[in-house]
Amino acid sequence: MELVIPLNFTIETARCRLRCPSIDDLPYVISATTYAGFNDGMQWEPPTNVDEFSEPLAENLRGWEMGELFTFTIADPVSDRLIGRIGFRRTNRVGVWNLGFWTHPEDQGKGYMTEAATAMITFGFERLGATIIEASYALWNKASRRTLEKVGMRLVRYIPHAFQKRGRWIEANKMEITKREWEIRSNR
């Protein structure tokens, strides 16, 4: 399937608008990364100075246009302020997309990621032609685990050496939801 999702494509949820990232998000992205422990559950390491933030943004836009990477800013629909980020990366297995996300620490625990991830999963199955959506979380990351469970994912396997943080291996669990499971869950 050829994937053409225009850069101005948005996903509306009850409280958020998911839209393509913009340079205006950077102060909020930088602010999120300054909270202690914010990056510990993610493979991504934030740049150390403001100039380096522009390359990940360019990579997101390139990946979007190539149909390989769809990173959305979760924004307040009125102020357009960034609440978080959520994205799909195409894997090397046909029809399998990997989901990743974060919520700005000031907006965590308000149900935003459950809301955004639910909408993204619909986008993945309906627009990206996904057959399986997968995600991984560091074993200690209870918030991520709970979010993935709430959107219908189930455990696939334990990964003892998932990624490294500060030179130490982090253990993780891989979760997934199939298209059929999502259809049953959402009465489609």
Ligand X SMILES: CC(C)(COP(=O)(O)OP(=O)(O)OC[C@H]1O[C@@H](n2cnc3c(N)ncnc32)[C@H](O)[C@@H]1OP(=O)(O)O)[C@@H](O)C(=O)NCCC(=O)NCCS
Enumerate binding residues for ligand X (CB under 6 A).
38, 41-42, 101-103, 108-114, 137, 141-144, 146-147, 150
3-state secondary structure (DSSP) of residue 30: helix
Which tokens sit at 114? 């459950």
Return the number of the residue (83 or 128) whose C-beta is nearest ligand X: 83
User: Of 68, 70, 22, 30, nearest to 49 (Cα)?
Assistant: 30
The alpha carbon torsion through 57, 6, 85, 99 (nearest 10 deg) reads -110
> What residues contact 140, with CB distance under 8 A and at least 6 apart?
41
Least distance between ligand X and beta carbon 173 (Å): 10
> Phi and psi (nearest 5°) for 135?
-160, 155
> What residues contact 58, with CB distance under 8 A and at least 6 apart?
none
Q: Which residue of this chain has its Cβ atom nearest to ligand X in the complex?
A: 41
Return the number of the residue (111 or 129) whose C-beta is nearest ligand X: 111
Q: Report the amino acid identity of residue 42.
A: M
Return the number of the residue (6 or 160) whose C-beta is nearest ligand X: 160
Least distance between ligand X and beta carbon 2 (Å): 30
Least distance between ligand X and beta carbon 102 (Å): 4
Least distance between ligand X and beta carbon 6 (Å): 26
> What residues contact 168, with CB distance under 8 A and at least 6 apart?
none
Return the number of the residue (146 or 180) whose C-beta is nearest ligand X: 146
Contact indicator for 44, 101 with CB cutoff of 8 Å: no
Return the number of the residue (93 or 142) whose C-beta is nearest ligand X: 142
Least distance between ligand X and beta carbon 116 (Å): 8
